[in-house]
C-alpha cells in the first residue's frame, strides 16, 4: 500500500506565503479576464478612463459586483469544504453535507413561492437599506441558521466528541428539506416555479455594495476562524484520543470549526443559491497536489475556490451567445466538477493500490 501524494516539502511559512501569492495572482488574473465578457463586451481601460461611458456603467454596476460575489462565494465554499473534510475525516464531505444548504434552500423557496421580493414586504414598517434587502436571501439565511442550530444541538447531545452525529443530522435534515421543497414546487403557480428552479440551481446576481460588504465581513470572520484553528484541525484528523492527548479540546474545537464552516456556507447560499462542486473539487485537488496539511489547504482552498468560480462565471456569460441567456453558474460548476472529480477519484485510487 502507498499513501496518496502529499505534495513536495513540508509546511513552512515561506512556502505557504509563496503559494498563496501565486494563487492570489491567479485570482486577480481570472478577475481581469472575467470582467470584459458578457451580453455586451466591456473595455476595462475605457471604463476606468471615462467614468461616464456605457462601459464604465456596466463595469461598476454589473461586472464588478458580480465578479466580487463570485470570488466571495467561491472562497467561502472551498474553505468550508476543506474544513469539513478534515472535521468529518471524510474526503467526500462538501459544504452542503450538514443540512445548512437544505435549510437555506427551504427558506428561499418559501419566500419565492409567496412572491416576496424585498424585506419591506415582510416587515412593512421597516425603512432604509434594510427594507430593500432580498427577502429570499433573508429567508435563506434564517433557514440556514435554524439547520445549523439543529446540527449543533445534535453534536452537544453526543458530547461533541463524534463527527457522525453532525453528519447524520445533516443528511436527514437535507432529505426532509428536499421533500418539503418538492411539495412547495408542486403547489406553486407556474410563474413562480421558474424563479424557484433558477435559484435552486445556483446563480450570481447583481448584489448591492452593502450586501457585498456584509458578505465579505462574514466570510472574512468565518475563514479567519478556520485558518486560525487549522493547526488543531490537523490534530483532529488523527482521531479524538490522539488529538486530546496532544492538548486539543476536541469537543470545543469541533463545534467552533463546524459553526465557522456553517456560517460561511449560510452566507454563500443565501446570496447565490445552490452552487455545487466548488467545495468538493477544489480542496480535493489541492490535497492531492500539496498534501493534507490544513494550515496550507484552508487558505489555498479559499483562493482556489475564488478562481474556480470566477472561471465558471465567465463560462456562463460566454454561453450567452449560444443560448440567448446566461446559463446558471451552478450548472457550469456541475458540468466542470463532475468529470473532473471522476478523474481525480480514478487517479487517487491508482495511487493507493500497489
Contact 220, 232 (CB under 8 A): no
Q: Quote the pLDDT of residue 257.
A: 92
Q: Identify the weakest region by mean pLDDT among 21-30, 31-40, 258-267.
A: 31-40
Q: Report DSSP state, residue 292.
A: S
Contact 162, 253 (CB under 8 A): no
Banded model confidence at residue 42, pLDDT cuts 50, 70, 90: confident
What is the percentage of the chain residues whose pLDDT exceeds 90? 24
Q: Identify the weakest region by mean pLDDT among 20-29, 63-72, 239-248.
A: 239-248
For the residues 297-322, what does the mean pLDDT come to?
89
* Phi and psi at residue 134, to the nearest 5°: -70, 125
Q: Three-state DSSP class for 139?
A: helix
What is the percentage of the chain residues whose pLDDT exceeds 70? 86
Identify the residue with better confidence: 9 or 329: 329
Domain boundaries defined on the chain = 21-351
pLDDT digits (tens, 9 = 90+) for 319-330: 876 766 778 888
Given a cut of 50, is residue 92 above it in pLDDT? yes
Q: Quote the pLDDT of residue 352.
A: 44
Q: Quote the pLDDT of residue 282.
A: 93
DSSP 183-203: HHHHHS-HHHHHHHHHHHH--
Residue 233's alpha-carbon distances to 321, 335, 341, in angstroms, are 45, 31, 24
Show Cβ contacts of residue 301 under 8 Å, excluding neighbours closer than 6 positions.
78, 79, 81, 82, 282, 283, 286
Q: Quote the pLDDT of residue 147.
A: 85
Q: Quote the pLDDT of residue 264.
A: 93
pLDDT digits (tens, 9 = 90+) for 220-245: 999 999 999 999 999 988 887 888 88
Nearest to residue 107, comparing CAs of 260, 273, 259, 264? 273
For the residues 64-77, what does the mean pLDDT come to?
92
Among all chains, which residue has been given the C-alpha cell 452566507?
A: 267
Nearest to residue 78, comparing CAs of 330, 300, 311? 300
Q: Report DSSP state, residue 206.
A: -
The span from the CA of 126 to the CA of 136, in Å, is: 17
Q: Quote the pLDDT of residue 273.
A: 86
pTM, two decimal places: 0.86
The residues facing 118 across adjacent strands are 134
Identify the residue with better confidence: 308 or 323: 308
| Grid cell of 15 as nine digits | 512556502
242's enclosing H/E stretch is helix 240-245
Given a cut of 90, is residue 77 above it in pLDDT? yes
Banded model confidence at residue 79, pLDDT cuts 50, 70, 90: very high
* Phi and psi at residue 118, to the nearest 5°: -130, 165
The residues facing 134 across adjacent strands are 118
Contact 309, 333 (CB under 8 A): yes
Give the fold, CATH level 3, of 21-351.
ABC transporter involved in vitamin B12 uptake, BtuC (1.10.3470)
Q: Quote the pLDDT of residue 220.
A: 96
The span from the CA of 183 to the CA of 185, in Å, is: 5
**CA atoms 181, 267, 229, 340: torsion sign:** positive
Amino acid at each position: 500500500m502507498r499513501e496518496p501524494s502529499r505534495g513536495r516539502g513540508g509546511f513552512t511559512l515561506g512556502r505557504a506565503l509563496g503559494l498563496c501569492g501565486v494563487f492570489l495572482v491567479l485570482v486577480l488574473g481570472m478577475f481581469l479576464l472575467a470582467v470584459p465578457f458578457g451580453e455586451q463586451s466591456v473595455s476595462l481601460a475605457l471604463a476606468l478612463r471615462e467614468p461616464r461611458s456605457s462601459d464604465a456603467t456596466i463595469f461598476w454596476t454589473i461586472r464588478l459586483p458580480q465578479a466580487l460575489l463570485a470570488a466571495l462565494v467561491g472562497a467561502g465554499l472551498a474553505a468550508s469544504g476543506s474544513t469539513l473534510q478534515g472535521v468529518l475525516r471524510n474526503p467526500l464531505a462538501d459544504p452542503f453535507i450538514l443540512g445548512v444548504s437544505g435549510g437555506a434552500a427551504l427558506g428561499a423557496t418559501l419566500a419565492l413561492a409567496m412572491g416576496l421580493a424585498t424585506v419591506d414586504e415582510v416587515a412593512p414598517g421597516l425603512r432604509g437599506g434594510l427594507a430593500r434587502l432580498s427577502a429570499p436571501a433573508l429567508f435563506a439565511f434564517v433557514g440556514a441558521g435554524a439547520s445549523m442550530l439543529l446540527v449543533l444541538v445534535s453534536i452537544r447531545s453526543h458530547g461533541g466528541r463524534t463527527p457522525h452525529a453532525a453528519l447524520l443530522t445533516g443528511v436527514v435534515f437535507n432529505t426532509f428539506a428536499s421533500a418539503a421543497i418538492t411539495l412547495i414546487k408542486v403547489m406553486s403557480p407556474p410563474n413562480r416555479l421558474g424563479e424557484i428552479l433558477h435559484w435552486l440551481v445556483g446563480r450570481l446576481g447583481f448584489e448591492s455594495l452593502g450586501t457585498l460588504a456584509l458578505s465579505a465581513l462574514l466570510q472574512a470572520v468565518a475563514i479567519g476562524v478556520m485558518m486560525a484553528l487549522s493547526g488543531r484541525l490537523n490534530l483532529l484528523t488523527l482521531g479524538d484520543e490522539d488529538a486530546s492527548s496532544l492538548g486539543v479540546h476536541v469537543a470545543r474545537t469541533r463545534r467552533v470549526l463546524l459553526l465557522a464552516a456553517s456560517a460561511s456556507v449560510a452566507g454563500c447560499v443565501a446570496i447565490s443559491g445552490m452552487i455545487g462542486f466548488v467545495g468538493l473539487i477544489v480542496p480535493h485537488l489541492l490535497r492531492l497536489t500539496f498534501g493534507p496539511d490544513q494550515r496550507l489547504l484552508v487558505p489555498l482552498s479559499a483562493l482556489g475556490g475564488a478562481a474556480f468560480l470566477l472561471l465558471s462565471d465567465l463560462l456562463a456569460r460566454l454561453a450567452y451567445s449560444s443560448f440567448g441567456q446566461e446559463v446558471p453558474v451552478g450548472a457550469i460548476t456541475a458540468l466542470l466538477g463532475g468529470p473532473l472529480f471522476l478523474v481525480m477519484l480514478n487517479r487517487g485510487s491508482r495511487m493507493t493500490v500497489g
